[in-house]
Amino acid sequence: MKSLIAKPVAVVVLLFARAITAVRPFWHEGRLPRRRSIFFANHSSHGDFILIWAVLQPRLRRRVRPVAGADYWLKSKLRSFIGRDVFNAVLIDRNRDARTMDPVESMGEAMREGSSLILFPEGTRNQSDASLQPFKSGLFHLAALHPDFELVPVWIANLNRVMPKGEFVPIPLICTVTFGEPMHLADGEDKDMFLERAREALLALAPKKAAE
């Protein structure tokens, strides 16, 4: 029954997201993403993964799972329906002390099943003035454990203006999703070096601010 409703709900959410944001992708050198990819993106809104999802071609979309915090997405029945059933999210426990399952382990399991991932390495929504917060280490561990996956930086522009935190009516504004050059963990690269390189690669995709 749930799965019967989940599909139409997904279609409605996608249509709504398109109507509000007229979202448009910019591919790296016009190349569409590979089947086995980890998309890592800036995080400013709960709708972030929906925009990435919306611009991927349907064939790819079916195999792409967003990674999201279980504490948020399991809080109510509706959220868990949307997170788990509609978007098939990989829910990870962000509470370091209480968790029973290692997040890298959960994500790795999904990848072994053939899924690509959408990951927000900042760990939580960015509400600071900085463009990008420091990255959590999960991306590095995934890169080390799964060298066959391409790591694709993805910059989502403008969605934070569509629906700032605490507002519940979205403002229609044009959003873009920019895909960067796929990267891999280099030989001998340590965690901090890699995370810094990944962060720089993502930051390079951010559009320059409109003249004040």
Partner 1 sequence: MSATHFDMMVLVLGVCGILLVASFVGHVLERRLSPDGSNPAIENLNARINAWWVMAILIAIAFVAGRIGVLLLFGFCSFAALREFVTLTNTRRADHWALATAFFVVLPLQYALLWIENYEIFSVFIPVYAFLLMPIISAVRGDTQHFLVRIAEVQWALMICVFCASHVPALLTLHIPGYEGRNVLLIAFLVIVVQSSDVLQYIWGKMIGRTKIAPRLSPSKTVEGFVGGIACASLVGAGLWWITPFSPLQAGAMAFLITLMGFFGGLVMSAIKRDRGVKDWGHLIDGHGGLIDRLDSVVFSAPIFFHLTRYFWSPG
Query: Which residues in this chain contact partner 1 in the complex, by CB under 8 A?
Result: 22, 24, 158, 161, 164, 167, 169, 171-174, 210-212
The sheet with strand 150-157 has its strands ordered as 24-26, 176-179, 150-157, 37-41, 116-119, 64-69, 90-92
Nearest to 78 by CA among 49, 101, 46: 46
Nearer to partner 1, 5 or 32 (CB): 32
Nearer to partner 1, 113 or 167 (CB): 167
Report, in Å, the least distance between residue 55 CB and partner 1.
12
Nearer to partner 1, 4 or 169 (CB): 169
Token pair belonging to 107: 């994500």
Report, in Å, the least distance between residue 68 CB and partner 1.
24
Q: How many CB atoms lie within 10 A of CB 133?
A: 18
Contact 197, 182 (CB under 8 A): no
Report, in Å, the least distance between residue 184 CB and partner 1.
31
Report, in Å, the least distance between residue 103 CB and partner 1.
32
Nearer to partner 1, 77 or 209 (CB): 209
